[in-house]
Structure 1
Amino acid sequence: MMRLTTTLCAAVALLSMAFLPAQAQQADVGFTIPTQEEVTAMQENRRSHALGDRLARAVVQAFEHYEASEIQQAIVVLEELSPRSDYERAYIGRFLGTMYASLEDEEAQPEKALELLREAVAYDILSYGDQKQSLQLLGNLQLQEEHFEDAIETFKRYLQFAGEWEPEILFRMAAAHMELKNYNQVIPFARKAIENYDEPNRNPYVLMIGAYFELNDIPNAIKVLEEGVTVLPEQTRWWSQLGMFYAMNEQYDKALSTLAIAYDAGYLDRSSDYRYLVQMYSNSNIPFYAGEIMTKHLKSGEIEATRSNWASAARSYYTAREFERAAETYNEVVKFTDDDEELMKAYRSQGDAYALSDEYSKAAQSFQRALDVGAAEGADAGRLYMSLGEAHFNAKQYRQAIAAMENAARYSATRRNAENWAGYIRETAQRRGVNL
């Protein structure tokens, strides 16, 4: 019933979440772009230029090589030209820059391509379409070659030239700021990209979450994730991330509720997710579900079967007062335990669990196995013999109980208590007509 209530409460809370305030007020990236009317006027006022006949024929020849994927031949043709006007230098430089950018692997010359494209766009004399494409190519190449500051400036020029808030360009600017660790700048560019995508896109959300995390602004990271799981429900990994961020922000009830919803919906699929949910149930004093989830995924192999993981499941059942389940789970713990002291502790805990579930004969067997390991010494050994004696007594195995108490009496820490117990056991046996 508690699980159902938790899940329903979380569902209501998540369905009522509001989008970020930035959606009502558009993000400010620090510059403006021209209106479409201004762009149209700029296009109309841009002068037209043409190549000379000799260069035009060479460009046609180079283009034929390019279309045939003969990039090096196209470069040779263009390198032999001697452009005279600024327009010809810009046009041939743009074409050559594009060729060099097209080369692959060991032939690649990105720095040469960058130099040519920078010079070409600097003339600002190409046709509107060619200038626009050249700016975009230059920005992309700068980003690719990790010239992040240059890429940001080029993309800014591109947007102001194109007169449109192109979401992919805005995203690339946000990514460049992320690489430069300008986390405060990542956020407005990523938000602006979100505003301008025709369909929701996960990438700017990822950048915003990362930026807020780096800024240690977990509340705002949570807001972005809340929005993200609403507009992009197929991004199931965000649910576990949201739960973890709630926990980081000390919103533990929300953390558990979110993770429980994600688990029920099948959104958690990694060992770390399952173990984190187990931890959240344990921290929230709901140990039964911690034990159930840990055991289920240990058996399925989705959580690695180790001593510590099985011991976690056993402790959860024990805390939930599911003592018989806890005792049975300790059978798995001992399979993965090769250290004598840890093995002794596992058998001892199993014995305690069996005793609390009134399985006294099984408890006695577990306590005896703990002693047989040989790791118990001094007062620890005395207490183990005491536990063994009590288990035998409750199982009405009086001779074995007295023998265990006599062994416990060999240790100073348990001597008096063990002697008293031994006397009581003899009296009880005599009173019940048992001949010792």
Structure 2
Amino acid sequence: MKYIFISLLWLYASAVSAVELSRHVAAQVMQAQKHAEQQQLDKAIQTLRAVTAEQPQDKAYVALLLANYYWQNGQSQSAIEQARYAVTSNQLKEAMGWRAKRMLADLLANDHQYQEAVTYYRQLVEHAPVKKDVPQLWLRIGQIHYQLAQWQQTLDAIAQYERFQLPDAVMPLSIQLGAQIQLTRYQAAIPTIKRLLALEPDQRNWWLQLVNMEIKTKQYRAALASLELARLKGVELSDQNLKLLANLYAQNGIPERAARVMASLAAQSPSVLTLDDITQMAYYWQQAKEWDQAIENWRIAAQQDKKYYRDVARLQLQQGDYQEALETLALLQGHDKAADIALLRTQALYKLNQLDQALHQAKKADSLEPSREAKSWIKYLTQLHQYRQNRES
């Protein structure tokens, strides 16, 4: 995040009456201020640089004015140099001295000299002549600690800011949220995001952050509700967000909705679906006991990887489509374990009452990869064959 640290201008023409200046210095200061009012900053700077001030207070005040004009003129390093002199001279007292230190802190922060800036901001907090300035100073301190990746100090500063019970604002809340996430305080981040959503209900990023925090804290039903609500409010969800929505439906025991979200995504943007997405959709349909849809999607997956014909065949066996299952298993040949294919053939042939062929497949499976299932089929089919022969005789 980028933050703007520079404050409004602290010095105005009327400020010259706030300090006692030597007569010739005051005249040159007034002349410089007239140039500045006419947007002639170079002339204002030249006028002040030509001042021959002897009194320490005159020098400090001229330096502070120069800092102001240098900053307005885009000469930040010169502004910092002059502001630092004005502050460290200790010649500017009370409110003027405080304003000088505030300007130096702002200039340093804007120049990414954060460590020095935060030292001055903390001094400003302790000696603020107007208490209404204190919350803004704590916010600045929080911003700087954020830039320095000092997450706990960031939260401490924002906690000080919040003591003043000001109306919620995006800046302090977003800083607080960032620090909470960096410290993996996901549960604490959730109310922060909800406060941000109250301010910016159409901000997609806050909704996604809320869902993410709820998932990280294993609040899957809440995450689903949040993502559903975002969608209902018209928040645009990416393809990836919609896949997440489908996954949350499935996790919350609503596989049919999960499948329908994926089907809708497939209809709108078929190219965004990976093979994993297609198999996931098939699995959702299967969980929802929508067998035809499941078979159709397993077939689509099998067009990319023939091993998925196994899932097609299994569902066909389950649905009693035994001849279709045998045809599917023929397509699976060479793309799955031969022993597993033989066992699936055994089931289909048995259901088609082709017992000799079924027994042959069971024996083939056991020879390729001995298993309890294969031996069970061999025993059962052998006994059945003998029983039928006995009946016929």
Give the TM-score category using the shorter length.
Answer: 0.7 to 0.9
Comparing 91-100 with 276-285, greater Cα deviation is found at: 276-285
Give per-residue Cα distances to partners, 1:269-295, cap 9 Å, x unaligned: 234433333333333343333323233
Q: Report SS of the residue matched to 2:20.
A: coil
1:82 pairs with 2:52: yes
Give me the whole-angstrom Cα distance separating, in 2, the residues matched to 1:166 and 1:392.
84
Please, which of 336, 342, 356 is the counterpart of residue 385 of structure 1?
342
Contact 1:307 1:334 in 2 (8 A): no
Please, which of 328, 332, 335 is the counterpart of residue 375 of structure 1?
335
Give me the whole-angstrom Cα distance separating, in 1, the residues matched to 2:299 and 2:73.
63
1:277 pairs with 2:237: no
Comparing 220-229 with 46-55, greater Cα deviation is found at: 46-55
Give per-residue Cα distances to partners, 1:295-340, cap 9 Å, x unaligned: 33344339931111221221222223222221112233235x3xxx
Give me the whole-angstrom Cα distance separating, in 1, the residues matched to 2:315 and 2:133.
66
Q: Report SS of the residue matched to 2:168.
A: coil
Counterpart of 2:27, as a letter, is A
Q: Aligned residue for 2:13?
A: none
1:101 pairs with 2:55: no
User: What does residue range 212-231 of structure 1 map to in structure 2 within 5 Å?
Assistant: 212-230=180-198
Give per-residue Cα distances to partners, 1:153-202, cap 9 Å, x unaligned: 33344451333146544322111122344433323432454566865322
* Cα 1:87–1:402 shift into 2, 3 Å: farther
* Cα 1:174–1:408 shift into 2, 3 Å: same
User: What does residue range 95-134 of structure 1 map to in structure 2 within 5 Å?
Assistant: 95-104=65-74, 108=75, 110-123=76-89, 134=100
* Cα 1:416–1:193 shift into 2, 3 Å: closer
Q: Report SS of the residue matched to 2:129.
A: helix
Q: Aligned residue for 2:317?
A: 355
Q: Report SS of the residue matched to 1:161.
A: coil
Comparing 135-144 with 412-421, greater Cα deviation is found at: 412-421
Count, aligned residues: 367
* Cα 1:70–1:117 shift into 2, 3 Å: closer
1:231 deviates by 5.2
Please, which of 351, 360, 364 is the counterpart of residue 410 of structure 1?
364
Taking only aligned residues, the RMSD between alpha carbons, in angstroms, comes to: 4.1
Counterpart of 1:56, as a letter, is A
Per chain length, whose mean CA-contact separation is higher, i.e. which structure has more relative contact order (CA < 8 Å, sep 6+)?
1
Scaled by the length of structure 2, the TM-score of the pair is 0.75
User: What does residue range 242-261 of structure 1 map to in structure 2 within 5 Å?
Assistant: 242-261=210-229
Q: Which runs of 5 or more residues in structure 2 are unaligned?
A: 1-16
Contact 1:165 1:196 in 2 (8 A): no
Give me the whole-angstrom Cα distance separating, in 1, the residues matched to 2:88 and 2:130.
16
Counterpart of 2:256, as a letter, is F
Q: Report SS of the residue matched to 1:164.
A: helix
Give me the whole-angstrom Cα distance separating, in 2, the residues matched to 1:266 and 1:193.
34
* Cα 1:195–1:273 shift into 2, 3 Å: farther
Please, which of 50, 73, 77 is the counterpart of residue 21 of structure 2?
50
* Cα 1:121–1:367 shift into 2, 3 Å: same
Give me the whole-angstrom Cα distance separating, in 2, the residues matched to 1:355 and 1:375.
19
Q: Report SS of the residue matched to 1:200.
A: coil
Scaled by the length of structure 1, the TM-score of the pair is 0.68
Give me the whole-angstrom Cα distance separating, in 1, the residues matched to 2:25 and 2:187.
64
1:137 pairs with 2:130: no
1:60 pairs with 2:31: yes
* Cα 1:236–1:169 shift into 2, 3 Å: farther
Q: Which runs of 5 or more residues in structure 1 are unaligned?
A: 1-45, 338-342, 432-436
Q: Aligned residue for 1:18?
A: none
Q: Report SS of the residue matched to 1:410.
A: helix
